[in-house]
Amino acid sequence: MDFNYQIRPILSDRCFLCHGFDSKHREADLRLDTPEGAFEKRKSGQPIVPGDAEKSLIWQRIISDDPEKVMPTPESHLTLNETEKSLIKTWIEQGAHYEKHWSFVLPKRPQLPEVKATDWIKNPIDNFVLARLEKEGLKPSPQADDDTLARRRALDLTGLPAEGSDVDTLLSSPHFGERWALPWLDAGRYSDSNGFQGDPDRFAYPWRDYIIKSLNSNKRQNELIIELLAGDMLDQPTEEQLIATAFNRNHLINNEGGAIKEEVIFNYVVDRVDATATTFLGLTFACAQCHDHKYDPISHEDYFRFFAFFSNMDEEGAPRQKRRGLYHHYRVSKPVIELNVPAKAPYLEARAHFDDARKRFNASRKAISAAEKSWITNLSQKEVDQLESKLAKIIDIRRRGQKLNRSQNDTIQKYFLTQVSDNADWRTAFSDMKEKEQKVNSLKEDVPLVMVMKDKKTPPRARVRDRGVYDAPIGEKLSASLPTAFSTLPKDQDLNRSDLAAWIVSKNNPLTARVLMNRLWQEIFGLGIVSTPEDFGFQGALPTHPKLLDWLAVEFIESGWDFKHMVKLITTSATYEQSSKANSFLLQKDPENKLLARGARFRLPSSILRDQALAVSGLLTEKYLGPPTYPRQPDGMWKEVSFGKFSYPKLPDPINQHSRSLYSFWRRTMAPPNMFDAANRQVCSVKPARTNTPLQALTLLNDPIYLEAALTLAKSSLEAEDPVADLIKKCTQREITSREAAILQKTFTRETQHYQERSAETKALTQTENPRLASLTIIAQIALNLDEVLNKQ
Amino acid sequence: MNTVLESYDQRTRRQFLASTSLGLGSAAMAGMLTSAPANEQLAKVKRVIYLAMSGGPSHVDLFDDKPLLQKQAGEALPDHIRDGQRLTTMTSRQGKLALLPSLKPHKNWGNSGIKMSTMLPHTGSIADEITLIRSMYTESINHSPATTFLLTGSEIPGRPSMGAWATYGLGTENENIPSYVVLTSRDRENTCGQLLYDHYWASGFLPSKYQGVKFRSQGDPVLYLSNPEGISRPQRKRVLADLASLNSITHEAYQDPEIETRIAQYEMAFRMQVSVPELADLDSEPQHVKDMYGPDVERSGSFARNCLMARRLAERGSRFIQVMHAGWDQHNNIPTQLEIQCRDTDQPAAALVKDLKQRGLLEDTLIIYGGEFGRTPFCQGNMNSAKYGRDHHNRCFSTWIAGGNIKKGHVHGHTDDYGYNITDANGTPLKANKHHYKEGAVHVHDLQATILNQLGIDHTALTYKYQGRRFRLTDVHGKVVDSILA
């Protein structure tokens, strides 16, 4: 009997909601998540009597047919089936042994399991997979053919189909970083705009570029994590290290007129907690915002102690820092850094000049104020009435002894100095200062602002919020710390984000390396070893290959958190190289391919589908890093969502039209319309969606970018000896088969004839009068929509 | 570990492929949902049309007449009425909260005599068909969180929307048109600052096939619906047949059931290319029907056009139709703007009820009309200037609801003489909150529970396991408002 695998999942899912970790909502004061709770002697008896199910109260309640007594209660809509009941009974009878949750125990490098078919093994990964297959009486599938394998590797390592097949070459391609940035963009809820009302732009791409560059340079991922979480707290941080911390500033930002500052900042911090806990710990911290976690050992207090790590900033809340954009306006909120672009030097110089001029002006400021005051006091009402109404109003306010706001102050000061006072020195100092200020203002527009983390000098503190509501603080201010269940750090010390980051990558943390390796596995095989990458807690799925996951985690740590090393290991394993052809036996036995008796086969993400179409047609540009691009989308979509406020720029140049999808401008209120199944980029997301709908078919058939790719492909194959075969080869990276050729040659002939009779349609499709080109374009559309091309197989 | 759903998807697919006809009935699909027990026996309606009035329509001007505001016009709202209520930062710095009377007289409409503004004559004409809830309340006083809350059950974007939950629970009635459709329009004056974000119809953590399909008023109603120029329909058909043959070869080799699904989805896409334009083509509508919706029906993208579209979608089997109209956020232009808004929405909304009724569809449709919150009975800005308005108010607002099994000509709930707090029939404040249900007050979660209930779905049982937790539209709250059910 295995508690972790067989019993806790049942207890957690059916019992812990009311009899678990949450102390405030524990029914009958009974907890079953600890042996102390379960074996406690109570008036009515003992909930669990180890070794004796009949005497155990919970067993009696489980089998009761009295609706008042039976557990789980009918109102819960939860039930136990017969197998589950008998498992619980056996477990109790065998002594009701509890074990620590698997993911909370530090991973140790496991022994490689013995296998029979030793000549299949290419690296240790295969030992674990094969041992399991042999246990289940299964055999691995044969190796996939070379062409299939080459395409599979190229897609996995670079997100492009035809980059060659040598693993080391692929790993050193700049496209590697672009491909592997994709899951980071989803987890980092990357967006080029703020979301909410107005949805103004932000400078998000420096963070995206930081991720791509870090992956390409194979930055050790423990360093990467430290920079993402606390780059600002490193000794003399570089600009890159500051940019890294935007991971925790990528959240939505609320610009709404009535938004309450404390509330919006609270929401930002909640998002940081969620993103950090999900991305690095695979824990569902969010569940403890309003009360103790129902399942996992994260108390309400633990939540707010964790919250404290991310709330120790002087934050602006609303985005008040502005920059004029080429197409839209930027609005970001402090803390920010001014990006070190070429325009920064002249800007800083101008600012220094301005500071000097301001100093000169301020030297006379007292005298000016006095003179201005006396002028205002001595003005007659008639003189006031003759002034512009705006000035008259300001003077009136001043005379009533009320304070002026900044712009009123500026207005009256300017008028006084330029129109009233005859002091030439003052005038010169004023106009000099204004001139220099203007220069600063115009130069600063070219210096992007990146939102970053920046802690106050004082140590982090936070108060618990009743029911998780921002304006209901209760109890004392708490210092920051890890949940008690994980803490190997002292609780009473003043910890900060850099301590948190150090713990996350430390050997004392059982989760992070496993969580990262699981996501790597998920990207390559379509399904994680733990199928709930967002939840490694009690309610999460159990690993299909727990020892393999531990081996990967330890290997990763001991390699120095070397990501490329791990990618290489996986993509050169015999497990990886298997053919993905299934048969009815395998489909029956293991429909989801959890055991890996065959290679992975699943539909490519929409962003890679677009990249692939651009690549095979030769349209793809060499753009690497930099500001977002604006590939064409159907007219009026932004207008519609924004009621006319945004118009999508029409920029026909290749960089904007034909660069990789990860560079496309991502508006938070409306993702690029052809990016189906994309993560919503509003909150952290670590599990890709993969659906199969008619709307996707319409996109792939009718979106102009796919048509353009088809036409370009057709043009490039038209002069080939066998245009159809040439085109199929470009799209599939293999030779056409005779059966395919038989079908497609007929199509080619038929559609050529079709267009020969319809010159207007030929023209409409190809802008030429060539019916063969039109027909071949149709063939290219077919090729780009082949299931094989839409899938990694 | 969304095993229920995963196996559901698989079974659905298998079922889907096994069935000779591709149009799979809702019963078959609903029957497979172990975690989402839509019960056809309990279902009172087959579909929902939500007329979501974005921006916060003023309840005291439209649905909840308060003569006292006339009497005490210009006087300050008593502190004990406000009772520490949070104000938005737009009025929290304003000195006096001066009471502002209803803009236009109200009158009793129909045999039921429901009192509503004379600015809503057409709504008045359906007074005997509706239940007017005057005691709605919600959590947030800002638009985006409040609208997100109304439509997804959470103030923070990212959860599945009500329509996604409903279609997840119900399945599809007609595979050739989307089950969950969103139609949007805005006020004529384009005054509003509110965007209609796609998270208002997102699927959140539910599979993305449950997300709302936004019909567009410009170009193709559904994105990428039309064939490119130079590709004809018969040609597309034969080309897709070739594609299917090629994909079948791949299937022979790989045996992946997803390949069969893909072949079927391409066929369905082809059929949608006919069914959707037919649906969006209003030429077949007789003039007298169009006239019911008013002259605006001829304007693409108008609320009137969208209401007529909603009826056509309802007829063809869409399950959840979300018609959103922005522009109710009258902070500083209520004297001019409110009347225009009423003119744009009053007739079409009423026409939709009448049109459904004359086709016998009202009895199995649920129509809801209302905003994300109401507006303050006090004035924002200077009452003596030309530009003034009302701020957001979340403690009470009005929503009407009509259709299958909803009481007709009925008013539910009361507010105090200021239209500020929900009270019982005697005027005593109810002080309900989402944790403490009180009969007579309708929290947004209660409305959501009621909507699902009418679809035959128990809101406490419609769950989806994500991040280890069984999520619900109504969180751990919500109670079906039985007293508005006939």
Provide the token pair at B342: 């009423």
Model ipTM?
0.90
Res B28: pLDDT: 29
Average pLDDT over residues A344-352: 96
Q: Which stretch of A263-277, A742-756, B161-175, B252-266 has the lowest confidence by average pLDDT?
A: B161-175
Answer whether B268's CB lies under 8 Å from B240's CB.
Answer: no
Give the N- to C-terminal CA distance of chain A in Å, as an integer. Answer: 38
Q: Which stretch of A451-455, B154-158, B360-364 has the lowest confidence by average pLDDT?
A: B154-158
Q: Rounded to whole angstroms, how far apart are CA atoms A37 and A57?
A: 13
A677 touches chain B (CB under 8 A): yes
Q: Rounded to whole angstroms, how far apart are CA atoms B141 and B159?
A: 19
Alpha-carbon distance values, B381 to B109, B331, B333, B387 (Å): 32, 8, 10, 7
Alpha-carbon distance values, B9 to B15, B143, B212 (Å): 10, 35, 18
| Helix (H), strand (E) at residue A410 | helix A406-415
Q: Which residue of A has its CA nearest to B203?
A: A680
CA angle, A767 then A768 then A769, to 5°: 135
A residues 240-279 lying closer than 8 A (beta carbon) to B:
252, 254, 256-260, 267, 270-271
Res B202: pLDDT: 87
Q: Which residue of A has its CA nearest to B140?
A: A259
DSSP 8-state symbol, A592:
T
- In angstroms, how far apart are the furthest CA atoms of chain B? 82
A residues 373-402 lying closer than 8 A (beta carbon) to B:
none
In which residue are the tokens 């006339």 written?
A: B70
Which of B246, B251, B268 is closest, CB to CB, to A782?
Answer: B246
Interface residue of A702, A728, A793 to substitute, partner B, most B CBs within 10 Å: A702
A771 touches chain B (CB under 8 A): no
Q: Rounded to whole angstroms, how far apart are CA atoms B138 and B142?
A: 11
pLDDT higher at B98 or A196:
B98
Could you give the residue ranges of the DSSP H alpha helices within B317-367?
334-358
Tell me the chain B residues in contact with residue A669 when contact means C-beta distances shorter than 8 Å: 195, 197-199
pLDDT at A252 over 80: yes
Confidence of residue B14 (pLDDT cuts 50, 70, 90): very low
Number of residue pairs across A and B with CB atoms under 8 Å? 247
Res B138: pLDDT: 96
State the smallest CA–CA distance between residue B483 and chain A in angstroms. 22
Confidence of residue B8 (pLDDT cuts 50, 70, 90): very low
CB contact under 8 A, B219 and A634: yes
Percent of chain A with pLDDT over 90: 77
- What's at A793, amino acid-wise? Q
Q: Which residue of A has its CA nearest to B461?
A: A77
Res B20: pLDDT: 25
pLDDT at B22 over 60: no
Which of A677, A693, A739 is closest, CB to CB, to B249?
Answer: A739
Which of A196, A582, A592 is closest, CB to CB, to B255?
Answer: A582
Q: Which stretch of A243-257, A760-774, B89-103 has the lowest confidence by average pLDDT?
A: B89-103
Answer whether B484's CB lies under 8 Å from B410's CB.
Answer: yes
- In angstroms, how far apart are the furthest CA atoms of chain A? 106
Percent of chain A with pLDDT over 70: 99
Sequence-distant (≥ 6) Cβ neighbours of residue B60 within 8 angstroms? B66, B69, B102, B374, B375, B377, B390, B419
**Domain ranges within chain B, ordered by starting residue:** 34-175+372-383+402-414+431-486, 218-283
Tell me the chain A residues in contact with residue B269 when contact means C-beta distances shorter than 8 Å: 694-695, 697-698, 701
Answer whether A185's CB lies under 8 Å from A310's CB.
Answer: no
pLDDT at B5 over 80: no
Tell me the chain B residues in contact with residue A256 when contact means C-beta distances shorter than 8 Å: 142-144
Interface residue of B142, B216, B330, B390 to substitute, partner A, most A CBs within 10 Å: B142
A141 touches chain B (CB under 8 A): no
State the smallest CA–CA distance between residue A526 and chain B in angstroms. 14
Confidence of residue B64 (pLDDT cuts 50, 70, 90): very high
Q: Rounded to whole angstroms, how far apart are CA atoms A433 and B311?
A: 65
Interface residue of B195, B211, B229, B267 to substitute, partner A, most A CBs within 10 Å: B195
A22 touches chain B (CB under 8 A): no
Provide the token pair at A97: 């042994």
Q: Rounded to whole angstroms, how far apart are CA atoms A151 and A371?
A: 79
Provide the token pair at A25: 């909502």
Res B306: pLDDT: 96
Burial class (CB in 10 A: 0-12, 13-18, 19+), A240: middle
Give B368's strand partners. B50, B401
A286 touches chain B (CB under 8 A): yes
Which of A592, A677, A693 is closest, CB to CB, to B265?
Answer: A693
User: Quick count: other Cβ atoms within 10 Å of Cβ A476?
Assistant: 9
3-state secondary structure of A26: coil
Q: Compute φ and ψ for B406, nearest 5 degrees.
A: -95, 140
Interface residue of A606, A640, A792 to substitute, partner B, most B CBs within 10 Å: A640
DSSP 8-state symbol, A280:
I
Tell me the chain B residues in contact with residue A670 when contact means C-beta distances shorter than 8 Å: 197-198
CB contact under 8 A, A258 and B142: yes
pLDDT at B399 over 80: yes
Average pLDDT over residues A667-674: 91
Average pLDDT over residues A256-273: 91
CB contact under 8 A, B157 and A534: no
Answer whether B459's CB lies under 8 Å from B449's CB.
Answer: yes
Res B194: pLDDT: 67
CB contact under 8 A, A287 and B468: yes
Q: Which stretch of A369-373, A738-742, B339-343 has the lowest confidence by average pLDDT?
A: A369-373
pLDDT at A366 over 50: yes
Q: Which residue of A has its CA nearest to B55?
A: A197
Confidence of residue B31 (pLDDT cuts 50, 70, 90): very low
Rounded to two decimals, what is the model's pTM?
0.85
CB contact under 8 A, B242 and A743: yes
CB contact under 8 A, A257 and B256: no
Average pLDDT over residues A336-348: 95
Average pLDDT over residues B192-208: 79
Give A578's strand partners. A143
Average pLDDT over residues A123-151: 97
Which of A77, A692, A762 is closest, CB to CB, to B461?
Answer: A77
pLDDT higher at A85 or A492:
A85
Tell me the chain A residues in contact with residue B224 when contact means C-beta distances shorter than 8 Å: 634, 674, 695, 698-699, 701-703
CB contact under 8 A, A75 and B460: yes
pLDDT at B4 over 60: no
Confidence of residue A774 (pLDDT cuts 50, 70, 90): very high
pLDDT at B29 over 70: no
Rg (C-alpha) for chain B, rounded Å, is: 23
A residues 56-95 lying closer than 8 A (beta carbon) to B:
75, 77
Tell me the chain B residues in contact with residue A778 when contact means C-beta distances shorter than 8 Å: 231, 235, 239
Average pLDDT over chain B reads: 87
Tell me the chain A residues in contact with residue B261 when contact means C-beta distances shorter than 8 Å: 692
CB contact under 8 A, B262 and A692: yes
pLDDT at B17 over 50: no
Tell me the chain B residues in contact with residue A762 when contact means C-beta distances shorter than 8 Å: 230
pLDDT at B293 over 70: yes
Pick from B396, B344, B334: nearest CA to B101: B334
Give B50's strand partners. B322, B368
Predicted confidence (pLDDT) per residue in A576-603, tens digit: 999 999 999 999 899 899 999 999 999 9
CB contact under 8 A, A77 and B463: yes
CB contact under 8 A, A697 and B1: no
